[in-house]
Chains A and B, each alone.
Chain A
Amino acid sequence: MSDDHPTNGLDDVVHQKHRLGILTIAAESKRVEFGYLREALDLTAGNLSRHLTVLVDAGLLTMEKGYDGKRPRTWVGITRSGRAALHKEISALRALVARHDS
């Protein structure tokens, strides 16, 4: 496999269906709520928490906890690094598909 093979552009942190989904939704918004992500990605709260922790630890997301009245809410926002990582991952996936199709 040569150095410029598209798979070299794939990032282990991002190259996972649900984490890619979280970043995609976060990139379309200023902030997104935990419950919205859980429903959109059809994940359990525990699974979503684990993916979010990985992405926050990698500096790709920020997390903000607060209250709406008495109801606790967790909001997630994407960082500049997160946008760059998502952009790179999508480009690598497209290159991979294009290489396969050609």
Chain B
Amino acid sequence: MSEASELLDDVDALRRKARRDGRGNAFPLLLFGALILVAPLCYRENDPPPPGKWALVDKGPFPLFGSGMFSDLRYPSLVGWYWVLAIVVGLAATVWWYRRRAQQVGLEIDTRKQLGVVGAAVAGFLLGVPLLTSFVDTPTTLYSTPEINLPILFGAGLLSALVLYWSLRPHRTAGPRAAGLFVGLFLASTAFAALGIYLRFGFAALLVIAMAVLTLAWLERSLLVAVVGIQFAAAALLVNLGVLASWNADHRIVVLGSLALPALILIVGGVLAAVTERAGRR
């Protein structure tokens, strides 16, 4: 009987070692932190229109990843594209980083789940919001009818978590697993779309990055990244509710004031992760 206990102890020790060796979270945390810190440079104000003239308000190609409350940005499309590209480049660089690291360490973590969750969030925010608004019939708008939107948000979110949990059980066969993943991610997209209804400040990309960080914590089973991810998600939510911004200054300063806290959380987390990784190698 002690053989069973010993085997379980060995399994636990090997699992801990593999998780420790697979961790390489400093790079993605620092990269996303830097990408967020650079974003304010895109928020240049337009010159005021001449007296007696009106300027057309351009919200850019992706309203949730765009100018938000600003109606006078010089390059609103640049803001939208910056956030979309920051997510794409950030994720692509993360995948590249873990592959490169695998060549050195001999162990590669599976980042496909991260891509799935982030894909669901991006699809929900960019495609789901207009679809949801056109499909769900309300007396006014979904924003002003929380009795309709909140059940969609929490219902789809809960169902998505249950379906994804069911799909990812180790004994699940390929067919039901694929079907479950499809349904689970679709429900997750619907929940993100319902959340997107309330995001009026154009910083939804921060919530996508928060999902990327939290998924990374889950993949790496890393307490440090989980703590960083929760703090970052809270800061991202505050920014998206307009809590951190003061609107009476140059737009770049206003945006920097809002993004400094979430960016700092990732950068400090990244530095701590780098120190921990280095200490672990000694």
A residues neighboring B (CB under 8 Å)? 17, 20-21, 24-25, 28-33, 35-37, 40-41, 68, 80, 83-84, 86-88, 90, 93-94, 96-97, 100
Contact = CB atoms under 8 A, between A and B. Distances in A.
B281 to A, nearest CB: 14
A98 to B, nearest CB: 10
A93 B106 contact: no
Interface of B: 1, 4-5, 7-8, 10-11, 14-15, 17-19, 21-22, 102-103, 105-112, 170-174, 177
A31 B171 contact: no
Contact of A40 (B8, B14, B173): B14
A41 B106 CA distance: 14
A4 to B, nearest CB: 17
B7 A17 contact: yes
A83 to B, nearest CB: 4
Contacts, number: 82
A17 B7 CA distance: 6
Residue in B107, B110, B111 with the greatest tally of chain A CB atoms within 10 Å: B107
Contact of A20 (B11, B18, B102): B11
Given A84-B171, A93-B4, A96-B1, A31 B102 contact: yes
Contacts of A83: 170-171
Nearest to B5: A97
Given A32-B107, A36-B107, A96-B4, A21 B170 contact: no
5 contacts: A25-B18, A29-B18, A29-B110, A30-B111, A36-B107
